[in-house]
Amino acid sequence: MKFLSVRELRGNSATVWKELPEEREMVVTNNGRPVAILSAIGEADVEDCLRAIRQAKAVSAVSKLQSHSIEKGLDKLSDQEIEAEIAEVRRSRAR
């Protein structure tokens, strides 16, 4: 997978667009950090690609939440403790 900086994208956009179909994906970086992914798609695939990207991001977010919960020991809470947490948050929001 090819990495390119925001500056390279700005200065060589015609070359990037020409190479993208062959590369399939390119990672755009800003100060060395990934900030975006360019992905070659066809007109007919736009909705399917967006759906797949959103699903992958959602799965990743849930996985991170699960890992965080295990690290904090929250996966061992009883149903009653969970209900008490929910009730406390609802009370604090109502204020």
- DSSP characters over the chain: -EEEEHHHHHHTHHHHHHHHHHH-EEEEEETTEEEEEEE---GGGHHHHHHHHHHHHHHHHHHHHHHHHHHTTGGG--HHHHHHHHHHHHHHHH-
The rounded Cα 49 to chain-centroid distance in angstroms is 14
pLDDT at 16: 95
66-78 confidence digits (pLDDT tens): 999 999 999 899 9
Rounded CA gap, 93 and 95, in Å? 5
Whether residue 69 sits in one domain with residue 32: no
* Segments forming the whole domain that contains residue 76: 46-95
Domain count, the chain: 2
Whether residue 92 sits in one domain with residue 59: yes
34-49 confidence digits (pLDDT tens): 999 999 998 889 999 9
For the segment 59-72, the average pLDDT, to the nearest whole number, is 95
